[in-house]
Amino acid sequence: MTNLSRRRLLASSGAAAAGATLPLWTWSPSASIAGTGAGLDPDHVWDVRADPVIERLYGEGIDKVAEVNEILKSWTTNDQPLPGGLPGYLVDFIEEARRLPAWADQGKLKLAGTFNEEKYGFFLALLYTLGSGLISCAIKREAWSVYYSYGGSDMRDRIAKTTVLGYDVMDAQGWTASGRLMVNSVKTRMVHAAVRHLLPQSPHWSSVGAGQKIPISQADILVTFHSLGTWVMKKFTEWNIEPTQELADAFLHAWNVDLHLLGVQEQYLPKDWSAAYSQYDQVMGPATGGTREGVELAQALLDSVIGEGNPLLRHELESLGRYVIGDAYADMIGFDKDPLLASLWATTVPLLVTSYQSTVPNIPIVSNLLPEAVHTFIKIYFSPGDPAPITLPLGNRPQ
Ligand code: HEM
């Protein structure tokens, strides 16, 4: 179990904003890739194509879902034909869902792949793990739905998989014929549809969903994207490690293609960074806050990477996490405050960034300014051993 203290809970509830209702949607579809659209509030839009298909599958019984999971285990690479034995309606859906949109640009996807390399790779990994991974615990609906769905009983696996998928979006290999990103994204789209089917049946959901009857709306997916891609790009800017405009555009493009594969409609995909930032400003604040589940998730995440106990290391990572995500989010997840360590990070991290900016950047050497524990944390986080295949959940979190 997790190291959940009364102090952490009190700290996080002090930070909680009321409910999880998103504000009136005013972001215009003219700022989207589609350039046009009905402008419907994405918080009232789910996945009109995937949801009925997955609903139908669950209607055939849980044994059928388990059988589909077994068959899909062998479907792993982007160019691989679907294995036989799947219901026809599912084949139709997957064949349609796995196709890249007409506006996908292979050149940009390839360029986005250079993000993973030495130049930005360390910062991307640091920001995704001790940044986005932690912020995901402060996104109220995400914390609730992850906690009460099946995967909630293995939180490290859950949070890490989301971040790792986000990280793979910046991996040129992921988009190639032998890559796995397109397959994993379509499988994730199906898992999200399964959660929409299963979670409303959980006795816990009605008490936490803050009025949301069906989880994982299009708005929720956009929020998670902003906690990953947009937040990281904002942080790159804040830390003065801004990529060139061309590279930044490629980064957004890769995210947009992946969001398409995850079932987000083109009328909600920001066409450029300025459109992304204005969407971020609209949704991020109201979507975040302190919840008991989020505090527990964050501790479970630390537990699973550094082991239970380990108070000194935990304290060190919590204070670095606080430096990275800022006090507002850190308070929401009840993270430790330590003025001494805070000033240490405030000196060390900019030094790391400055070293990066020197004429001969050598991230592996300068990143030694951070304690080994941070490297170990990132390494373990991104290498969950033999990664379990993404499968449709057969139920909610066991009581
Ligand atoms: C499952 C990624 C948005 C809640 C997953 C999985 C991945 C993933 C890779 C599969 C894990 C597995 O079962 O093996 C993403 C990405 C997102 C996103 C990249 C957006 C950019 C969201 C949002 C929510 C959410 C917005 C909720 C508000 C869940 C839940 C599961 C799941 C509950 C299933 C957990 C289980 O029971 O196994 N997601 N996700 N995700 N996601 Fe997301």
| Each residue's pLDDT tens digit, 4-34 | 666 666 666 555 444 556 678 999 999 999 9
Output the CA 188–ligand 1 centroid distance in Å.
7
**Bridge partners, residue 288, by sequence:** 139
- Is residue 37 in some structural domain? no
Question: Nearest residue CA, atom 36 of ligand 1?
Answer: 151
Q: Tell me, what DSSP letter sits at residue 211?
A: T
Residues touching ligand 1 (Cβ under 6 Å) are: 141-142, 145-146, 149-151, 158, 161-162, 165-166, 188, 191-192, 195, 215-216, 220-221, 224-225, 262, 390, 393
Probe target for ligand 1 pocket from 156, 167, 199, 221, with the most ligand atoms within 8 Å of CB: 221
- Is residue 4 in some structural domain? no
Output the CA 282–ligand 1 centroid distance in Å.
22
DSSP line for 240-276: T-PPPHHHHHHHHHHHHHHHHHTT--GGGSBSSHHHH
- Is residue 172 in some structural domain? yes
Q: What's the pLDDT tens digit per position in 271-292? A: 999 999 999 999 999 999 999 9
Dihedral, 264, 267, 268, 270 alpha carbons, nearest 10: 120
Q: What's the pLDDT tens digit per position in 156-199? A: 666 667 767 777 787 778 899 988 899 999 999 999 999 999 99
The boundaries of the domain holding residue 95 are 11-19+45-387
Atom of ligand 1 nearest to the CA of 164: 9
- Is residue 6 in some structural domain? no
Atom of ligand 1 nearest to the CA of 194: 34
- Is residue 3 in some structural domain? no
Output the CA 109–ligand 1 centroid distance in Å.
23
Output the CA 249–ligand 1 centroid distance in Å.
25
The count of domains in the chain is: 1
**Are the C-beta atoms of 299 and 159 separated by less than 8 Å?**
no
Question: Whose CA is closest to 390, among 192, 184, 167, 174?
Answer: 184
CA 53 to chain centre: 24
Atom of ligand 1 nearest to the CA of 169: 19
Q: How far apart are CA 174 and CA 115, in angstroms?
A: 13
